[in-house]
Amino acid sequence: MKGKRFFWLIGLGLCLIALGWGLEPTRAASNDSMETAVSSAPHPDYNAQLNTTQQQGGGECDIYAVDLIGAWVDAGALEGSFPFTSLDEESCTGDFNTDVLPLFTTEDAWFAGSQA
């Protein structure tokens, strides 16, 4: 009985070794011989500037779109007015429906070809 068990354990070990050799992962080429593709496509401008209504004076405030969304989120992500600071360090007020919502519903709002 001990002889059969020993024989099966050796057979199982040989099978596992054979599987280990057969399932060995392929080796990647060294970094020196690999060429990387360089994209020639222009990168989108995720920092598109927006003009929003200024709180005092009725002028416009310049702010990056991502900063406007950040100010909207910091204000509690309300569907109303929210304060933010423009690129000129002026206190301004933005509105969700006129300033933030179009960033998600208007085609080409972020870059040419972007979908809403």
* pLDDT at position 55: 45
Q: What CA–CA distance (Å, rounded) separates 93 from 84?
A: 6
How do the residues of the chain divide into helix, strand and coil, expressed in percent and rounded to 5?
35, 20, 45
Instruction: Express each pLDDT in 23-80 by its tens digit.
Output: 665 555 555 554 544 444 444 555 555 555 444 445 688 999 899 999 999 998 788 8
Locate 25 and state its tokens: 């992962």
End-to-end CA distance of the chain: 73
Residue partners of 54: CB distance under 8 A and separation at least 6: 60, 61, 86, 90, 92, 93
Helix (H, G, I), strand (E, B) or coil at 75: coil
Taking the complete model, does pTM exceed 0.85, yes or no? no
* pLDDT at position 8: 79
Question: Over 90: is that where the pLDDT of 114 sits?
Answer: no
Q: What CA–CA distance (Å, rounded) separates 86 from 53?
A: 10
